[in-house]
Structure 1
């Protein structure tokens, strides 16, 4: 993970080395040669993905974004790319976020599932009915048309999957996660992260950042902080974010990170988009 970046880009190498110093352990050793079990550790996974994403961005100095967005954790690297957060501050927030989310999972275990082939309104309606009846389940990730992730209590997600399949969903796939991310069950994590966010300096954005919580462009430090905090308990509105970016003039999208999942989602949301 990120080994090629380390070997080929001086900028990426400097950033990866800096990450080790900030965290107080060798993240790069785990990224380059750690086991899958090591990479799944809470204190490793989120920092590793974040660092890889920013390293890929700095390794391409020709990139001059006119707007940015990130999916869930990716919002932190989007904020670095937009000049809102310094790399070191963002990394410390990501590490704190990971710890807070793990603690919330242990406090209130939950589940998530991907729902394929059903419209958003139907998913929302069924989740609301189950929540009203006493179990927590909400729409958590609007990934692209026909692909929505739900999140909540284990019982709530199980009931929702059954009801959504009965309503016509092509598939309802439980996800291998340990908690109900982007749901009300992350409230304790949001409270823990709030203190760290308040102590961190946020600058004005060099370009608009389309944030997960409302899918709208933001440049104000105060608005960005508030939305970043909401992100833990609110849905990731990725579909709407990409739609709004395209409506505001975006024609080329560049993904910086360890995979290419977002490229596929963008093409499903805006088929005419160019992937750089």
Structure 2
């Protein structure tokens, strides 16, 4: 049995999520370290008011992911696979030893600033359930042709769970069009920037330049990227993935499939997410498989550790 850690992206956050992290020495040390690096009390970043800021959200998610990864490592649970959705990829890079925590925080802060400054208001993301990527792309072409506004495929989280990016009016128009075409649901996400599309091309170029001076190492274990849903084996490749992933579609389902096909069968999702766990359960954890997926935010650390150790101990 092989462990994979999954780190959620923006949209998973809710008020007080940092305050609900496990009461573990490694968590407390990580919070203190992040506060010292950034010159702020990171526990001020998870209020409802603070979470209106892309910067606060992305820093908070990175801190939460690294804190729980370190707590699990302290308990003897070091993942073979690390993967994160969008900004979650930064915690994944820290988890696998490719990127220092301090450098990850500085890069995430720069990333969020660039994203927020590029499109400070009037844009976002919507999740569409029940249509395929091909259907979404066809509807997007119709929307553009009929002047309803441009939308872009931002995330392919599952075969029929697609996230689209665009301006508010375009997303509203697209939601109506998608529902009329048979979508089960069209829901705006708690994200205020048009992530993972060409609207962030300039921001990605600026972050690429910023990242040139940040040291990256070859990963311990396997880091799975966003853009291609494939393992990356060098520090330079992981740097490029992190610097540019805001510009490209997140191929999360491809990343999940690669991990399963490569032998990962115990998945733990870092706080505050549940969505990545649900996707893994729906598509890979059935009675005929040996795949287990657990959201760390749903159980105590003690209980989580016991579940994972029991599953990992079934073989060997």
Does 2:68 correspond to 1:53?
Answer: no
* Structure 1 residue matching 2:221: 3-state secondary structure: coil
Segments of structure 1 that go 5 or more residues without pairing to the other structure are: none
Does 2:107 correspond to 1:93?
Answer: yes
Deviation for aligned residue 1:38: 2.2
- 2:34 maps to 19
CA distance in 2, matches of 1:231, 1:206: 21
CA distance in 2, matches of 1:112, 1:46: 15
Q: TM-score, normalised by structure 2?
A: 0.79
Deviation for aligned residue 1:120: 2.1
* Structure 1 residues 269 and 109: CA distance shift in structure 2, 3 A: same
Report which stretch shifted further, 221-230 or 193-202. Answer: 221-230
Give the aligned CA root-mean-square deviation in angstroms: 2.0
CA distance in 2, matches of 1:153, 1:256: 30
* Structure 1 residues 159 and 39: CA distance shift in structure 2, 3 A: closer
* Structure 1 residue matching 2:49: 3-state secondary structure: helix
CA distance in 1, matches of 2:240, 2:63: 23
Deviation for aligned residue 1:115: 0.7
Aligned 8 A contact 1:213 1:228 in 2: no
Q: TM-score, normalised by structure 1?
A: 0.90
Segments of structure 2 that go 5 or more residues without pairing to the other structure are: 1-16, 294-307, 309-316
Query: Normalized per residue, which structure has more helix?
Result: 1
Deviation for aligned residue 1:215: 0.4
CA distance in 1, matches of 2:41, 2:206: 25
Deviation for aligned residue 1:259: 2.9
Report which stretch shifted further, 193-202 or 252-261. Answer: 252-261
- 1:112 maps to 125
CA distance in 2, matches of 1:233, 1:4: 31
Choose between structure 1 and 2 for higher RCO, CA contacts under 8 A separated by at least 6 residues.
Answer: 2
Deviations 1:98-154 (A, max 9, x none): 111110112x74232111111222112222443466643111111223211111233
Report which stretch shifted further, 173-182 or 231-240. Answer: 173-182
Deviations 1:154-197 (A, max 9, x none): 34333332322222112222334322111111123212212221
Does 2:229 correspond to 1:215?
Answer: yes
